[in-house]
Structure formats: structure tokens, C-alpha cells
Amino acid sequence: MRSLLFIPGDSERKLEKGLTSEADVLLIDLEDSVSAERKTAARRITADFLKSNRSISSPRLFVRINDLSSGLADDDLSAIIPSLPAGILLPKSNSGKDVMRLSAKLNVHEAQTGLSEGITQIIAIITETAIGTLSAASYPDASKRLIGLSWGAEDLSAVIGATAVRDEAGVYTDVFRMARALAILGASAAEVAAIDTVYIDYRNEDGLARECVEAARDGFTAKLAIHPAQLPTINRVFTPSVEAIDQAEQIIAAFAADPSAGVIGIDGKMFDRPHLKRAERLIARTRSL
């Protein structure tokens, strides 16, 4: 999982186009991109789309429901779970307790539909509220369904009253840099994927590439997208290079050959146990692509 593309849940045309995109995951949206008047139609269109594409393995089909405090989430789940989405994107998650609440709801819907318990996965966006941002450490053991955590700046800016999320140089201001860092740390603590937020200037390919490189450097393994044109850059940056894979395999093999070693040398460079752990994670991620 490298790229996750948002698609409005009330647009048959865009949904069909999304199937031929380069996205690893389609995030079918019932929340922000769908007006209140179109929620019912979006649920029906999304359910029909999921039902028609149950057999495809890529892209994986997730649905962003409305948040748990909206009064709309239960209707969203009732409409879409019988059509077997691969997972749910939970917006405005305030803590691991919200993931637990969603997981409990999914237990009920899966049972009613005759599905195996736990088959529907969860990704949560954890920094769209102030309390959510401050609760990033609450996700370990929240649910076995949880596979990733992401973050968002725009909703948080509205909540706290910020007039901008970036400074004049295009760099995130302190509050949003903190939210970004907490998302990485929260994902690491929960041992799930860290997914970087959207880059809204979708025509700025250089800016997107730069942000992807910085995100991969800091520990993110995937990125949200708002336009299909962003997908080639995202996929390229978040696909481990041949050189990185080769080095990781060498590190793993060297420690396997000498299990008692704390440090090993390869081509004049020293690698210790943290390097081994990072190498193992990279290879595991490569196998899942």
C-alpha cells in the first residue's frame, strides 16, 4: 500500500475511472466530498459499485464514512457493509476508543451479513480534532482491524482557528508539523502503516515529489491522493528502490549467519540491530506491494 486515492462516492463516472488508475487503494468518500443532499444517493452508488467489483484485487476498495459523532456513520455502514468493502477509513478519530467503537459496529454488521468477524479493515485519520491529535498514543491494541493511521491539516486548522497550515515558504507551521510527527509516532506505536496526508496543489508535481521524499525519509510508507495525476509520483517514491532492497537483504542475511552478533559489517559500513529491524520492515512491505 503506497497510494490511496479519494473518489467521491456519488460519482459513477469517477468511480469507474478510479478502477483504471494506478492507486493501490481507492478511498470512496461519503464524507467531505458529498453534500448533505447527496448522502443517500452516494450510499446507494457506492454500494452498487462495491457489489459490482467484489472480485477485483487491485485497487483495494475502502470507504470513508462520516465520523462517529455525525449521526450518519451507522447509515453509512448499513448501506455498504453488505457489499463487502475491503475496509473503512474513519475520519476525525478522537482516540483508539473510536477505533474500538467502529470495530464493535463492524462486528454487528459482519454478523448480520454472514461475514467472518474481522474481515473489514480500518484506517483512521487521527489529527482532524485537537483531542485526536493529542491522543495519538492511544492506538496500540485498539483493534486487530487497524492497518494504518493518517493525519490531516485542513480540518484541524478549522478547529483551532488557524488561518493557514503553511508559512510563506510553503512549510507546515509548528502545530501542523507536530500533528504530522504525532501521526508517525502513533502509527509506529500501534505497529501499523503511517500514511501521509494529501498534497492539495495537485498541479505542482515538483512540490508533490519533494513532499513525498520528505515523508518517506521520516517514516511514512504511503500517501493520500486527491487526483489520479499524483499517483505515479507517489508510487515511485514509496516503492523501495532495488538498492534499498538489496542492502536490506544483505543485512538480514548477515545477522542470520551470525545470530549472536550485535553489530555486523557490510562493504565497510557497520549495521546494528535497529538496522536489522528496519531492513525486516522494508522487506515485509515490499512483499505486500
The total of other beta-carbon atoms located within 10 Å of residue 253's CB is 12
Beta bridge partners of 271: 264
Q: How do residues 117-174 score in pLDDT, each as one tens digit?
A: 999 999 999 999 999 999 999 999 999 999 999 999 999 999 999 999 999 999 999 9
Instruction: Give pLDDT tens digits along the chain (289 positions).
Output: 999 999 999 999 999 999 999 999 999 999 999 999 999 999 999 999 999 999 898 999 999 999 999 999 999 999 999 999 999 999 999 999 999 999 999 999 999 999 999 999 999 999 999 999 999 999 999 999 999 999 999 999 999 999 999 999 999 999 999 999 999 999 999 999 999 999 999 999 999 999 999 999 999 999 999 999 999 999 999 998 888 888 888 888 888 888 888 888 888 888 888 788 888 888 887 777 7
DSSP string, 216-238: HHHT--EEEESSGGGHHHHHHHH
**How far apart, in whole angstroms, are the C-alpha atoms of residue 221 and residue 140?**
18
> Which CATH architecture fits 3-238?
Alpha-Beta Barrel (3.20)
Of residues 251, 241, 239, 253, the one with CA closest to residue 278 = 251
Which sequence spans correspond to the domains of the chain?
A: 3-238, 242-288
Task: Quote the distance between the C-alpha of residue 194 and its chain's center.
Answer: 7
**How far apart, in whole angstroms, are the C-alpha atoms of residue 19 and residue 8?**
13
| pTM of this structure | 0.91
Question: Within 13 Å and on the Cβ side, how many CA atoms surround 144?
Answer: 4
DSSP string, the chain: --EEEEEETT-HHHHHHHHTSS-SEEEEESSTTS-GGGHHHHHHHHHHHHHHTTT--SSEEEEEPPPTTTT-HHHHHHHHGGG--SEEEE-S--SHHHHHHHHHHHHHHHHHHTPPTT-SEEEEE--SSHHHHHTGGG-TTS-TTEEEEE--SHHHHHHHT-S-SB-TTSPBPHHHHHHHHHHHHHHHHHTSEEEE---S-TT-HHHHHHHHHHHHHHT--EEEESSGGGHHHHHHHHSPPHHHHHHHHHHHHHHHHSTT-SEEEETTEEEEHHHHHHHHHHHHHHHH-
